Amino acid sequence: MYRRNFASRERAKRVIAIFRQHGAIGPEKAMTSAQLGLPEMFDEFMERRGGRRGVIIEVSEGKYYLDEAKLKEITSNAGWPVDRTVIIKEKEIVKIRCPYCGNLYDGSLDKCPHCGAGR
């Protein structure tokens, strides 16, 4: 669940950056998804659920702009960090084959959990 939320927030950040780059940050500067270079599925997303938060607003048929004030309100109130560093730690698991019974067991153990033989 966390990775999915993290990925969707990263996508949202990229879309927000695109709106800012093209200057579509007010109703008078609203642009279509094609003018912004966004994929066609952006329009479908906005029709289904994309406009719920009110950060990206549709002014007329297919023209959108970024509401910076609403974005600031959401990011400060909802605990939605704009920039966050994620550290993923990986642990290497070493398996050892028991010379007596042939069972594979975790290398951190001193003896085989199946037959009790030591290394």
Q: Whats the size of the chain, residue-wise? A: 119
> Taking the complete model, does pTM exceed 0.85, yes or no?
no
pLDDT in tens, 52-67: 777 888 887 788 888 8
88, 79 contact by CB (below 8 A): no
pLDDT in tens, 92-115: 778 889 999 999 998 888 999 999
Residue 38, phi then psi, degrees to nearest 5: -90, 155
